[in-house]
A and B are shown apart, each in its own frame.
Chain A
Amino acid sequence: MLQTISVLVENKPGALMRVTGVLSARGWNIDSLTVARTLDAAQSRMTIVVDIEPVLRRQVIKQMNKLINVLQASDLTESLAVRREMALVRVRATAENRAGILRDAEIYGARVVDATADGLGLECTGPVEKVEEFIDAMKTFGDIDVTRSGIVAVSMESRKLRLAPPVQAGANGAEERPNC
């Protein structure tokens, strides 16, 4: 099973690259990645899905936490969290199979988001397995186009966010700065 890392970052240019750089530096692939602003527009939440064994994953999360722009990186793999994915599917719909498509869509709770003379646009949301089953079901109706969002996750455990306080600017050198 794949693992989920949730990263709260400052919404700044380059922040995404710094986080993914921790993974790419070791030649690891990212299975999926989502980023969007949080309630606070100055922050973004990333959900990264990877396949990394636990010891190295702990190491990688520590390295992410070390990044200046990262407020908190945590492993949601073992913790109480909700994971969802969305897929947008365009399926060619003929007069004959249109009813079948709509029936299957209903089974998976997918919604029609667009309809043209020769095709339907469908939106399916849910756990990854369900979304994948829906995509398989749609494939039986012929050629389809799929765009998946990747997993978004929210932790159901409250996590204390420890942030650094402001400091005085402008005192170069270790000896003048007690904490250096």
Chain B
Amino acid sequence: MSNLMTGANILVECLLREGVDCLFGYPGGVTLPFYDVLYDAKVRHYLVRHEENACFAAQGYARSTGKVGVCCATSGPGATNLVTGLVDALLDSIPIVAITGQVSTKLIGSDAFQEADTFGITRACTKHNFLVKSAAELPQAIHEAFYIAASGRPGPVLVDIPKDVFTGNAHYEPVGTIHLPGYKFSTEGHAGQIRRAVEMMWEAQRPLVYAGGGVISAGASGSLRELVETIDAPTVCTLMGLGGLPSSHPNFISMPGMHGSYAANMAMTHTDLIIALGARFDDRVTGRLDAFAPHARVIHVDIDPVEIGKNRAADLPIVGNLGPVLDKMNTLLAELAPSRKPRRSADRKAWKDRIASWAAEHPLTPSVSATEIKPQHLVREIDRLSGGDAIVCSDVGQHQMWGAQFLRFNRPRLWLSSGGLGSMGFGLPSAIGAQIANPGRLVFALVGDGGFQMSIPELATVANNRLPIKIVVMNNGHLGMVRQWQELFYNNRLSAVALDGFPDAAMLAGAYGFPGRTVDDPKEIGQAMDDAVRHPGPYLLNVKVSSFECVYPMVPAGAAIDEMVLGPPKAAAV
């Protein structure tokens, strides 16, 4: 089959072949020919109110489903507005294909209207990018983009398409194969290394599984669970890895790191074997690197060889996809289990008892007050209604850390959070993408009053599409995390962190045609949350929480992770 088609038609044809059912975007001058084809194409286009949110919404779609999320923007400002979302997806390894319009090929480089060097600007913001110079090259570029985005270590890929490529004609023939000779990634993992890793797991007295976002992107949570249960290892999940092992699992401790639990950080400090699975020893996890896990040998499994040894040297590196690697490990572990497991049971019991006593010593306790709503109390309310099964999209800051501490996730792909880049304004637009991809599921946007005000325009997208997202604003009137640092490390000189002027929630939501409410009484929060969730459409719940609560435990910058500040400083005796 070969027929003459315009570039715009070819693009839509390729998107359909990739199984794309929806995309998030914002049209403009040079993408007009594409939008004209979209008018009656079998791909749903969701019009956002800012291109950055198109990329965040595509991420919400991708993070909640594992499929490639697609976003689209016009040339110049449209493309530059995507940049934050692209870097966000790059740091969290989220598969995204971004399509941008570009000025006509003959105008490129002439400072034409709405021209920006998108190919140059996004080189460092993407896993790979393309500038397509003719309609004939388009199919290859599009299919390569999807392949690169979804395979290996996933990430964002941008395809920049000049206007005359959209309008130009080419004989379209479906692309059969993709050949990217330089794009090598190991999938299976080295058999000998895997065997040695299994030996180390049985040798260790105090093993600790440290599971990251890679477990989720590899779809390996079932295999992770099997491994954890076979060797009976306590497990911590990073911010990106939450839900990789169900929160209710007896071996799950919590998140480690700067705002990790006392038990998780003590376990990291005292383990003799870290089994790092799809995690990258990020500075927020390790604290002071030279004091991190001083007694541990390290097995590090990652699909990206760059991660191995980047921050912490691996005693046993394995480059491969966690799916097949964990399956092989599980087979070998099971073979050895009858002889090894009984010998280890006393060690394991002692180790788990020790962790349990750390957890009992300093548990993550939500503070509750009769006079004001404590932020942890609010998060507990969300957890009560979620029961570990709702999708929760967070913004960045204090509410994100409390969410990570107190929310339970029984499955992967429920906790969507900007981990690596820490982009404020991520919560609401990612909830839009997640709700569209999961129409029947309860979706919360748990946002702070700062991040929410960065994404207010998307209330229109929520309203237009009647997306039943429950937007819960944890409103402490401040940029809470920055305020916390100013309180603790800058003599409480609160500089530019008060967020006065927050709009009336009922009026704001009402202006978009859906209900909203503000609560500040701890006696009312439970009922208010019930009402919000029971309401069939979108709901904005503005929850005024105590203004000056800090997230604890906290590992101060530059400290070792066992040097946690566990609570507010006690008032000095006079």
Interface residues of A (CB under 8 A from B): 9-10, 13-14, 17-18, 21, 25, 59, 62-63, 65-72, 162-177, 179-180
Count of B interface residues, CB-CB < 8 Å: 46
Are A14 and B304 interface neighbours, CB within 8 A?
A: no
Q: How far is the CA of A25 from the CA of B124 in the complex (A)?
A: 8
For residue B168, CB closer than 8 A to chain A, the reply is: no
Chain A residues lying within 8 Å of B18, measured Cβ to Cβ, are 170-172
Are B321 and A21 interface neighbours, CB within 8 A?
A: no
Chain B residues lying within 8 Å of A21, measured Cβ to Cβ, are 123-124
For residue B143, CB closer than 8 A to chain A, the reply is: yes
Majority SS of interface residues in chain B? loop
The 3 A-B residue pairs with the shortest CB-CB distance in the complex, in nearest-first order:
A172-B18, A163-B181, A173-B67
Within 8 A of A (CB), among B428-446: none
Are B147 and A167 interface neighbours, CB within 8 A?
A: yes
Chain B residues lying within 8 Å of A13, measured Cβ to Cβ, are 131
Q: How far is the CA of A170 from the CA of B142 in the complex (A)?
A: 9
Q: How far is the CA of A176 from the CA of B17 in the complex (A)?
A: 13
A13-B131, A174-B150 are known contacts. Are A164 and B68 too (CB-CB below 8 A)? no
Chain B residues lying within 8 Å of A65, measured Cβ to Cβ, are 305
Chain B residues lying within 8 Å of A163, measured Cβ to Cβ, are 181-182, 184
Chain A residues lying within 8 Å of B123, measured Cβ to Cβ, are 14, 17-18, 21
Are B181 and A170 interface neighbours, CB within 8 A?
A: no
For residue B154, CB closer than 8 A to chain A, the reply is: yes
Task: Give the residue of B127, B143, B148, B321 whose beta carbon is less than 8 angstroms from that of A170.
Answer: B143
Task: Give the residue of A9, A169, A179 whose beta carbon is less than 8 angstroms from that of B176.
Answer: A169
Chain A residues lying within 8 Å of B120, measured Cβ to Cβ, are 17
Are A174 and B147 interface neighbours, CB within 8 A?
A: no
Are A68 and B180 interface neighbours, CB within 8 A?
A: yes
Chain B residues lying within 8 Å of A173, measured Cβ to Cβ, are 19, 65-68, 150
Q: How far is the CA of A13 from the CA of B68 in the complex (A)?
A: 26
Within 8 A of A (CB), among B262-320: 304-306, 310
Are B182 and A164 interface neighbours, CB within 8 A?
A: yes
Are A170 and B150 interface neighbours, CB within 8 A?
A: no
Are B306 and A164 interface neighbours, CB within 8 A?
A: no
Are B20 and A172 interface neighbours, CB within 8 A?
A: yes
Are A179 and B321 interface neighbours, CB within 8 A?
A: yes
Are B177 and A166 interface neighbours, CB within 8 A?
A: yes
Chain A residues lying within 8 Å of B181, measured Cβ to Cβ, are 10, 71, 163-164
B343 to chain A, nearest CB (A): 36
Task: Give the residue of B19, B146, B182, B305 whose beta carbon is less than 8 angstroms from that of A69.
Answer: B182
The residue in chain B whose Cβ has the minimal distance to the Cβ of A58 is B309
Within 8 A of A (CB), among B64-123: 65-68, 95, 119-120, 123
For residue B175, CB closer than 8 A to chain A, the reply is: yes
The residue in chain B whose Cβ has the minimal distance to the Cβ of A168 is B177
Within 8 A of A (CB), among B173-188: 174-185, 187
Within 8 A of A (CB), among B182-206: 182-185, 187
Are B177 and A169 interface neighbours, CB within 8 A?
A: yes
The residue in chain B whose Cβ has the minimal distance to the Cβ of A59 is B310
Chain A residues lying within 8 Å of B154, measured Cβ to Cβ, are 174, 180
The residue in chain B whose Cβ has the minimal distance to the Cβ of A61 is B306
Are A167 and B182 interface neighbours, CB within 8 A?
A: no
Chain A residues lying within 8 Å of B95, measured Cβ to Cβ, are 174
Are B306 and A172 interface neighbours, CB within 8 A?
A: no
For residue B422, CB closer than 8 A to chain A, the reply is: no
Are B124 and A67 interface neighbours, CB within 8 A?
A: no
Are A174 and B219 interface neighbours, CB within 8 A?
A: yes
A112 to chain B, nearest CB (A): 40
